[in-house]
Structure 1
Amino acid sequence: MTTQAMLDERYGRARSPRRRIVLWSVVGLLGVGLTAALAWTTVSNSLASVTATDTGFTVADAESVTVSFQITAPVGQPVACAIEAQDEDHGTVGWRVVEYPASDDHSRAFTEEIPTLALATTGFVNSCWVP
């Protein structure tokens, strides 16, 4: 054994093949674990998501707007939706949160009335969520 090889071995400068295998195994396991955690987060968030689609609105008068919409939500979960009425300057003139009980249907349609403070020009679903 040469003097340089003896010094490398004594002070740990030379890497053994076993140490390299262990290091790459740990890196691989961490990679697989992070990928699995990201996949689980993505799937669990999409299972609990609620989507709302506006199907129409009717401005009855300066005091109310009727909004029609359809929601797609997880089966067996209650849902809450915030519906909004706006004027021609996009200012909020009416706002209401409605809650719906759990249902066996994946998609449901609703029509709700929003009381307004001034004449509205539009009505829509702002957002929906599982409470």
Structure 2
Amino acid sequence: MTHLEARYGRTRAWSRRERALGIVAGLAVLVTATLWVWSLGTDLSRTTLQTRDLGFEIVDDSTIEVVFEVTVEPGTPVSCAVEALNSAYTIVGWRETDLPASERRTETHVLEVRTTERPTTGLVSECWLP
């Protein structure tokens, strides 16, 4: 027995069966994880939806027009929520709308939002697929 074996003990040697079982289990986990990642990347039912705020125009003390872009696969209808904020970043106006399917991937929209007080900014809160 060497000095280190006497001090720390001897490790148990793995049998061939245990080693083979460990390799098979590791490969099964690796294959399962690879298939899961692949299925996420090739799921054709997932549609990419992006929005971009382009600007706004304050019409009066109780109205704002919000200009925004929606990018989605052509032929896909979208619903969006647009909000107006005051100088304290409090929501003073909110409007949800259904946008019809378009033949173009990116569409620009202008949406009028009524407010409870004078807004200082307007933006898209979120968009989703109905």
Report TM bin, short chain: 0.7 to 0.9
CA offsets, 1:41-64, max 9 Å, x none? 35549x423111111100000121
Q: TM-score, normalised by structure 1?
A: 0.77
- Percent identity between matched residues is 31
Query: Higher mean Cα deviation, 23-32 or 48-57?
Result: 23-32
- The residue aligned with 1:102 is 101
| Cα distance, 1:19–1:116 mapped onto 2, change above 3 Å | same
Structure 1 residues 44-55: aligned runs within 5 Å: 44=43, 47-55=46-54
Structure 2 spans left out of the alignment, 5+ residues? 1-11
Aligned partners of 1:49 and 1:130 also within 8 Å: no
Partner of 2:119: 120
Any idea what the Cα deviations from partners look like across 1:82-117, whole Å, max 9, x if unmatched? 100011111111001111122332111111100111
Aligned partner of 1:66: which letter?
A: E
What TM-score comes out, normalization by structure 2 length? Answer: 0.78
What is residue 83 of structure 1 aligned with on the other side? 82
Larger helix proportion of the pair: 1
User: Contact (CA 8 Å) 1:81, 1:129: kept in 2 or not?
Assistant: yes
Alignment coverage as a number of residue pairs: 119
Name the CA distance, whole Å, in 1 between partners of 2:25 and 2:123. 51
- Label 1:44 to 1:89 Cα distance change in 2 as closer, same or farther (>3 A): farther
Quote the Cα distance in structure 1 between the aligned partners of 2:27 and 2:117. Answer: 61
The CA RMSD measured in Å over matched residues stands at 2.4
Structure 1: give runs of 5+ residues left out of the alignment: 1-12
